[in-house]
Structure 1
Amino acid sequence: MKAKLKFGFNLLLLVTILGVMYFFVRSSMMDILAEIKNTSAVVVFMVMALGTLYLWIEGRTVKEIAGNFQPDFSTKDGFFTVCYSGFYRIITFGAGTLISEVNFYRKSGLQLSQGVGVTTLHMVMYKFAILTYAIAGLIIQFSLFYDHAPNLIWVILAGIVMVFLIIAVLLALSVSINVQVLFVTISHKLFKRPTFRGIIDRCNTQIYSLRETVNSIIQDRTAFLRIYLWNLLKMLPWYVIPYVILVNNHPDIDFLLTFSFISFAVVLSGVIPTPAGIGSFEFVYMFLFGPLVGTVDAASSMLLYRFATFIWPFIIGFGYVMVQKRKDIQAELTELKNEKVKVE
């Protein structure tokens, strides 16, 4: 009976995934595919190569963190971790991104608490990297913004401050047991309803796991530096993509300006409350690049950028999930056959 339930659940999940895929292709992929068709093959190849390079470096970044708990965890595992969570980010509209990443670590041999800690630290170090580039971009382009769009400086600074506060709170909670106890005490006084208490308890578990992860990693003095540098390196392929797309029609476009703009777009979209950054990134990207290259070229470059950074991991993740589901269904069919033989 248990094997039948598992088989039915996996079959239902597979049908649901295929249904969401069909809906997604019909509603979102047509514009992107049309743009790819109208773009030079060389540009498409370069964009895809940069998107793949990001995923591989990101895999190495994940390995640097998860490898502290599972020595057999490889860069390849990290690569598929990113694609796996990228797949679930889209089909769950952002809600399942972190859960799917934790689940991948659990399947790779990490304990649940370790998986939560690795996922949280992974997010923190990513935010450190995008914060670094945004600050550098603001410094480099400060005179340009001051002369032409002084109000934009305050918007970017607000985004930087928000990201910094998120990092600061997570790190403070991760290294100090006293801060964590204070957080729980105040939260329990403010929120009496069981629903809110449950949310607080889950947050507390995640914070505890993060502290456990951080304490484990800081035993290696160079670990944080290595993870930080890998995070800086992984963003370079993504941040180069807009220039690669736009320079073909705008040969005079400034590389550092496009690099700074995309760093601002990533930071600002990360603090605007929409599911997985969907919608907020497009708005910020068009707001920054539209006046620079025109609305049509900005929209075209945004579609290609989204394909390399958002859709491409999803496609690889879809392939990975399909292979795993096929293995699960085959294993459950074998189990059903064995149960049938035992009954007879």
Structure 2
Amino acid sequence: MKLFPEKLPQRLKQGLDPVYLVAGQEPLLIEEACDAIRSGAREAGVAERIVLEADARFDWSQLGSATETSSLFATQRLVEVRLPSGKPGREGGSVLRDFVGRGGDDILLVKCDEWEIRSESTAWVKALDAAGVYVPCWKVKPNRLPQWIAARMRSRGLNADAAASRFLAERLEGNLLAAAQEIERLALLYPGGQVGLQEVRAAVADSARFDSFRLVELVFSGQPGAALRCIRGLREADTPMPLIVGALARELQTIGSFQLLSRQHSAAQAFTALKVWKSRQQAIADAARRLSPRVVRESLSQLSELDQLSKSTGRDAFWLCLERLSVALATNRPEYCAA
């Protein structure tokens, strides 16, 4: 049964389904749906969880061997299969179909971080859909983002007017993780209250000095000194490193794609193809003119190293590498991209 994320909590209140498939292109919605299922399982007395990381080298026989023996501590377990690519292959699809076909007491949760609409027509997805609940987590369309923000605020005890929701939607440009963080900040500042455009503007101004979006603005507008000060502020605030990498990567990928498309198409056509928000088009165009394609390519390569550092224990190395990359982008000097 297909069930969109906003309907999942009510479904879980009615009890657990034997199978959950959570898949899509929006990381925040995917993770929150999985968290809701895990929480629902715990509340239902499912105390044991088996987690299988089904990457390209995964041995699918592990799914059967991990569940064929009875648990010493629980009669029911949550079996979580994390499938980053969203594609189990022929063998994996067959194993998943067989698993749900056998039934049993265990609850199966399959989490897919990459997804295409055509995946819904595959045999293994149809089997999981028929046996339980399929939760598609698509990106929120721009024209629906203000409504999503307003609903999110209501869930946090805030009553936002339309102008406040539109302002946040325009500023955050579809980044649901950043939107969720802004809303949590507003909930702390105005607990249980009315939030208008003035309150939202004030909260954003208070937080803008050292947030990831501010770093992106400084780097791509060519302000190396201010960018370095911003990085120090991010470090002192213990800002999550993957959040910083993600913000830089999205902007840099857009700039690189715009540089390629604008060689054969008009700027307007390129922005339409890339689905760039109108409020960001001028900044993207300016950065694309200022940065050489070489700097963009080498910076994207450096971002891959930053991403690895953000997931390791090398905190000092991450911040040093981030400073060098930011200076390279702010000054258009490729030599700073070198490790």
TM-score (norm 2): 0.25
More RCO (CA 8 Å, sep 6+) = 1
TM-score (norm 1): 0.24
Please state which structure has a larger fraction of its residues in strand: 2
